[in-house]
Structure 1
Amino acid sequence: MLLAAGSLALRPELRLAIPELVGVTAAMVLLLCFALYRGDHGGIGWSPRFIIGVALLLRLMFLAAPPQLSDDLYRYLWDGNNTLRGINPYLAAPAHVTPPASLQPLHALINHPEYVTIYPPTAQLIFAGGAALGGLTGLKALLVLFDLALCGLLVLLMRQLALPAWPVVLYAWNPLPVLEIAGSGHVDGAGLTLLAGALLLTLRGVQRDGEAPRRWLPFCAGLLCAVACLVKLFPLPLTPVLFLVTPRPRRLQFSLGWVVGLAALVLPFWPELSHITQSLDAYARSWEFAGFAFNTLRAATGSGNTARLILSLSFACCVIFFLVKLARELEKAGPVERGRAALRACYRISLALLLLTPTLQPWYALNLAALLPMAGGPAGLVFCWTVLLTYRVQIPYFLLGKWLESGPVTAAVFLAPALAWLLARMLGGRATRPS
C-alpha cells in the first residue's frame, strides 16, 4: 500500500498520469479486498495503532504537494483569509472584490469567482483555522488531522458495535480519502469526523439506555450533528437516522442540541449568509458531472429540469423507505443491533444519493467510504474506486482547456457497483458485510 501510494506521490503532475492513477488505485483496492477476505476468515489481527500509523504515512506522502486534481483549496484559503481579516465570507463574490496585494495571487486561482462561497459556516471556521496555520500546507495539515481523527472515531464505533477494529482499513488505507483529503485538501473529511462523533455519542446513549440516564449525550449528539451538517450539506439526509436511533424519551434533547448548534453557527454570519442561496440555486439548477442516472433521464425526457425533479423525488422516496425500514428494525432490536441497523441505513442513503445526484465529483464518495468498515458491501467498495475514473476529464482539460466528459466512463461508474452487488447476491453473499 505504501509503495503504491508513493509511486503516485512522486509524480510531478497527476493530471498527466491519470491512467497510472487509475491502475495504482485499483491495485490498492484489490489489496483492501484481500485484507477483507483474510479478515473475515480470521487471518488479521492488526491493532488500531498500526492501522492509524499506516494511514498517517499514506497521508504524509501527499501533504506538502500543491493540489493537482482539484482547485477548491484556493477558494477555501480565500474564504479563510477573509474571516481572519474580519470580513464576512458571504458578503460578496470574489469577482466583485479588489483583493489586497498579498492575496492577489490567491484571488487569481479561485474557481467560479462569480459566485458567493457555497461552503457553510462550520467549513468557514475550518478554513480560517487552516489559513492561520499558514497557506496550503497549513490548511491541508489541519484537514489531515481531522481525517486521522475520523480513523480513530471509526475504531471506537467498531468497538461500540462489538466488531473488530481491522475493517477500519477499508477507509484508513483507501486511496480515495488519501487523494481527496491529503492530496486535494477537500473539507468533506472534517464534516465526516464531526458526524462520526455525533454517531458515537448517539450510540453510547443507546447503550446506556438501561443504565443511569446521561441526558447530555443526546444533546451533544444533536449539536455535533448540526455542526457536521454545516461543513457540507451531505450529512443532512442522515440526521433523521440519528434521531430515530436516539431513545424516544431523549429525542427532544437531541433536537434541542441540533437547533442550538445550528443557531450558534448561523447567527454570527447572518444576514450575509443568506447570499449562499444564490450559489446553491445555481448549483442545483445548472451543475452536472458524471451523473449516469441524470444523463439517461435527460436523454429520455429531453429536459434537464425534469430529470432533476425525477431524481430529487426518487431520492426522497429512497430516504423515506430506508427510514421506515429502520424504524421497524429498531422496534425489536437490542442496543448493539440498533447501532448496526442505523449504520446500514446511513450506508444505503449515502449510496442512493451518490447514484442519483446529477453532479458526482470523486470526493463526494468520501461520505460512503467512511461507512465501509461498519456497513459496506461490494457495491460501495467498488464505487469508491470507480468514481476515480471520472478524473479522465482532467486530461483534455489540462492539455487543451476543454472539459470533455466520457459517456462510457460515466456509465462504468454507475454500472460497476451495480454489477458487484448483483454478483454478490448471485454468489450467495450479502449486500453489506456480515457481522
Structure 2
Amino acid sequence: MPGLANIYKYQKTTIALILTSCILYIWFAYYLERTEGLKLIFLYTALFVLGFQILKTSGFYTSPSLSTSFRILVIASILFRFLFLFAIPNLSQDFYRFIWDGQMLLEGFNPYLNTPDHIIKRETSIPLANELHNGMGVLNASHYSNYPPLNQLCFVIGNLFPGNSILSSVVGMRLIIIAADIGTLYFGKKLLEALKLPPSRIFWYILNPFIIIELTGNLHFESVMIFFLVWSLYLLHSGKWKWAAMAFACSVSVKLIPLIFLPLFFWWFNSNSVSDKNDTNNIKIPAFAGITKLIGFYSIIGVTTLVFFLPFFSMEFVTNYSKTIGLWFGDFEFNASIYYILRAIGYTITGYNEIAVIGKILPVISVLIILGFSFLRKNNSIPKLSKSILLVFTIYLFLSTTVHPWYIATLVMLCIFTNYRYPLVWSLVIALSYLSYLGIGTTDKSENLWIIAFEYIIVFSVFIWELTQKKKDCQFN
C-alpha cells in the first residue's frame, strides 16, 4: 500500500480539487442564504465542475483496479457530507416538520391524527414547539403527516441525539442519511461489479453535488429509500427474492414512491429465461412457479409494509392519510413541465386553473404507461428492470404537478445501471427551480415560467436525444 507521500505524488491534483470543493461546500452549507440565487447557482455549478474533475483525475474512472483512487473518492464523498454536519438546512424548511413528527411520537402523539396547528393551539410539552411550528410554514403545519412509518422512525432516532435543540436533531437525522449513503455506496458498487459494469459509476451518485446538497444538506430521506431500493435490487440479482421483498418494503415504508415500480417486476418472475440464481444447474422455472414467486414477492412486500403501519392504524388514519396523499395530486404545483403546458391550455379555454381535472387525468396516464412497461417489456435482468423503472419514474415526474428537486435523486441512482445520462444533466439544471421558487424575474414571488421552461428544454432535449439513439442499451436487450 503506497504511503501518504506517494498518494500525494500521484494524486496531488485530485487532492487539490477535493480541498477546493471542501471550501465551496462549507461556503454553501454555512454562508449561503436561501434568497441568494446567483450565489447558489455559482456554487452549485462550480461544485459540479470540481466533482467531474475529481472523478476524472483520480484515475479510478479509467482504471477501476486502482484501490488507492477508490479510497480517495470514498473518503472525499464521506468528507463532503460531514462538512454539512452542523449546518441548518438552507434550501428547505421540511426538516422542521421532521423534527416535529419525531417529537410528537416521543410525546405519545400520533402524527397521522394530529396536525401541528391542532397541537400548537393547546398546551403541549413538545420542546421548541413554537419555533418548529413557525419554521415549517403554514402549508406543512395545516396538514397531517404524510411520511411513512420507517421515515417516522428516522425522525424519532434523530431526536434522540444528545441535546435538546433543533441543531442536535438535525445532526442526528443527518447521521442517518450519511449512513444510508454509505450503504448505497457499498451495495451499489457490489451490484455494478456483479453486472460487470464499471464500478466507478457509483460515484455519479455518491460524489454528485446534487445528492450531497439535497439529501445530506437539506435532510431529505430519499437517501434512506434509495439505500433499501438498491439493497433490494442486489438481493434480487443474488436470487434472494424473499429478502429482496423485505428490503423493498422498507424502501416503501420510507417513501411511498417505490410502490409504482411493483408491476415492473412481473417478467422478473414470469420470463422463461428466469431461473433461481442460487441453482447451479440453472433449471428453468415453470410458468406457474414464476406466478407463485411473483405472488409471494408481492405478499411479503404487502404484509411487511402493513406491519410497519399497524401501530398507527385506525379508520381515522386511513381517512387522513389518503386525503393528505391526494393533496399532492390535486392541489400543489411546483416545477412541473407537461402539467404547466396543459394548465396554460386550460386557462386559454376556460379561464380557470383546471388542476382539479388535469390532476386526475395525468395519474391515469402514468398508470397506463407503467402497465405498458410492465407487460410489454421483459424486465428479466437488473439493467432491463432499472431501465424500465428509470423511464417510468421519469415519465411520472414529467406528468406530475409537483417536482421538488430531491424527487429526481432516484433517477440519478438508477441511471448508473443503464446507459442513460439525462438524470445527471437534470441533477445539474434542477438548481434553476430554486431561482423560480425565489420569484426571480417576477414581482409577486411566483414561479418564473421562463426559468422553468429553460430547465425542461435542456432536460427534454437530452432525454429525447438519448431515446432516439440507435443501439441504446443494446447489450441488455
Return the alpha-carbon distance in structure 1 between the equivalents of residues 21 and 470 of structure 2. 29
Alignment of 1:179-328 (within 5 A): 179-205=213-239, 217-246=240-269, 247=274, 248=290, 250-271=293-314, 273-274=317-318, 275-302=320-347, 303-327=354-378
Counterpart Cα distance in 2 of 1:38 and 1:356: 39
Matched, 1:122 2:139: no
CA-CA distance at 1:423 after TM superposition: 4.5
Deviation at 1:282, TM superposition (A): 2.2
* Aligned-partner Cα distance in 2 for 1:299–1:396: 19
The separation in 2 between residues aligned to 1:39 and 1:341, in whole angstroms, is 29
Q: Determine if contact 1:225/1:239 at 8 Å carries over to the other structure.
A: no
Q: Greater Rg, structure 1 or structure 2?
A: 2
Aligned to 1:142: 176
How far residue 188 of structure 1 moved from its aligned partner, in angstroms, is 1.2
* Equivalent of residue 431 in structure 2, options 369, 375, 388: 388
Shift of 1:316: 1.8
- Decide whether the 8 Å contact of 1:122 with 1:230 is kept in 2: yes
- 1:16: how far off? 3.7
- 1:52 is matched by which residue type in structure 2? V
CA deviation map 1:348-400 (0-9, x unaligned)? 11211222211010011111111122125232211121112101135449xx9
Residues 263 and 370, structure 2, Cα contact 8 Å, conserved in 1: no
Structure 1 residues 402 and 157, CA gap change in structure 2 (3 angstroms)? farther
8 Å Cα contact 1:55/1:148 also seen in 2: no
Q: Aligned runs of 1:173-184 on 2, under 5 Å?
A: 173-184=207-218
Distance 1:251 1:226 in 2: 15
Question: What is the deviation of 1:226?
Answer: 1.7
Q: Does the C-alpha gap of structure 1 residues 84 and 430 become closer, same or farther in structure 2, counting only changes over 3 Å?
A: farther
Task: Return 157-166 or 275-284, whichever deviates more.
Answer: 275-284
Q: Does 1:354 align with 2:397?
A: yes
User: Structure 1 residues 279 and 163, CA, compared in 2 at 3 Å: closer, same or farther?
Assistant: same
What is the match of residue 109 of structure 1? 135
| Contact in 1 for aligned 2:246/2:300 (Cα 8 Å) | yes
Matches of 1:5 and 1:308 in 2, distance apart? 42
Name the SS for the 2:141 alignment partner: coil
* Contact in 1 for aligned 2:86/2:171 (Cα 8 Å): yes
- Which of 31, 38, 41 is matched with 1:22 structurally? 41
SS at match of 1:62: coil
1:166 is the counterpart of 2:200: yes
CA distance in 1, matches of 2:474, 2:25: 30
Deviating 4+ runs (over 4 angstroms): 30-41, 43-48, 422-426, 428-435
Q: CA deviation at 1:294?
A: 0.7
Contact persistence 1:8–1:21 (CA under 8 A)? no
- 1:9 corresponds to which of 26, 32, 39: 26
Change (3 A) 1:120 1:301: same
| Cα 1:39–1:285 shift into 2, 3 Å | farther
Q: Paired residue for 2:449? A: 407
Aligned-partner residue type, residue 311 of structure 1: L
Distance 1:305 1:430 in 2: 41
CA gap of 1:115–1:430, structure 2 versus 1, over 3 A, is farther
- Structure 1: which 5+ residue stretches go unaligned? 206-216, 331-337
Q: 1:213 is matched with which residue?
A: none
Q: How far apart are 1:242 and its partner, in Å? A: 3.7
Amino acid at match of 1:88: N
Does structure 2 retain, via aligned residues, the 8 Å contact 1:376–1:433? Answer: no
CA–CA separation in structure 1 for the residues paired with 2:60 and 2:362: 36
1:131 maps to which of 142, 159, 173: 159
Q: Give 1:285's aligned amino acid.
A: G
User: More deviation in 384-393 or 15-24?
Assistant: 15-24
Question: Structure 2-normalised TM-score?
Answer: 0.79
Q: Structure 1 residue 301: deviation in Å?
A: 2.8
The alpha-carbon distance between structure 1 residues 51 and 250, as it changes in their structure 2 partners (threshold 3 A), is farther
User: Per the alignment, in what secondary structure is the counterpart of residue 377 of structure 2?
Assistant: helix
Amino acid at match of 1:18: G
2:110 to 65, 88, 102: 88
Shift of the alpha carbon at 1:193? 0.8
Cα distance in structure 1, aligned partners of 2:60 and 2:385: 22
* Alignment counterpart, residue 417 of structure 1, candidates 459, 463, 476: 459
| SS of match in other structure, 2:84 | helix
Contact 1:91 1:116 in 2 (8 A): yes
1:3-50 deviation digits (Å, cap 9, x = unpaired): 245314224134143323323333444556675899899456554544
> Is the Cα–Cα contact under 8 Å of residues 243 and 254 in structure 1 kept in the other structure?
no
Task: Indicate the RMSD between aligned Cα atoms, in angstroms.
Answer: 2.8
- How many percent of aligned residue pairs carry the same amino acid? 22
d(CA) in 2 for partners of 1:372, 1:147 = 16
CA offsets 1:94-144 (integer angstroms, 9 cap, x no match): 000133262322233223211011111121111111111241111111112
CA distance in 2, matches of 1:42, 1:324: 38
Corresponding pairs, count: 413
Structure 1 window deviating more from structure 2 (77-86 vs 237-246): it is 237-246
Which deviates the most, 89-98 or 8-17? Answer: 8-17
Q: Measure, in 1, the Cα distance between the counterparts of 2:196 and 2:64.
A: 17
- Tell me how far apart the structure 2 counterparts of residues 349 and 37 of structure 1 sit (CA, whole Å): 34
Matched, 1:70 2:112: no
Structure with higher RCO (Cα < 8 A, 6+ apart): 1
Select 1:100's aligned residue among 125, 138, 146: 125
Question: TM-score scaled by structure 1?
Answer: 0.86
Distance 1:384 1:221, change over 3 A: same
Offset at 1:261? 0.8
